[in-house]
Structure 1
Amino acid sequence: MALVALSNTSDWELQFEDTQDVRGFRVLDQDGSDTGATVTDMIVDTDAERVTMIEVSDGKQYPAADISIGDGAIYVTGDYHVNEDGPTFTRYSEMEGYGTVRRRTT
């Protein structure tokens, strides 16, 4: 398994960058409270051609399959959190081709 931070490679890119690049997103806990951290990087397993971990500004890492994404923020619990008064979050692992990376062609 070859792991590399997405920001440290020009050889790999997210296949669905417009919907799955969470770098810079706020990090929320299981109660929806802002932790004060942001996503700083995405760790790629180049053998599996998939994002496997999310790295945040407080130094923690979370499995990519266990986050939920929505409206410029991620939940790090892997649980669904749907709030009628707030945004809807979708579990990363249920997004089409979630975390798929490909070798750059140019």
Structure 2
Amino acid sequence: MVETATSSSCGDDNATPAVAYKRYALGEEKTFDNLFFEEKQQVLQLLGNFESRTGKFAIKGFPYNLDLLLHGPPGTGKTSLIKAIAQYTKRHVLTISSARSRPTSSCSTRPST
């Protein structure tokens, strides 16, 4: 299942879509069992600590969020890692194209006069 949606900018039906995303159903095709990279154990330990709120995630006042920045040329496994993490944590993947998004400051919340 792939869901695709767009949202218009600031409620203007004629505006170019401001944000586009795709939501993929969890699948069995990508797991850590079929990924091989040097930092695999570190990533699994980090995910385990995140899920069980241990390690740095157990510190009172420490934000309970996990952000990963992946970079590299096409074909290096970034998407496979994301799908494996989603499978491991039983979460969905939300893909947002930054080329099509707009900063929220470009939308005025004040009514026009």
TM-score norm. by structure 2 comes to 0.24
Higher Rg of the two aligned structures: 2
TM-score norm. by structure 1 comes to 0.25
More helix by share: 2
More strand by share: 1
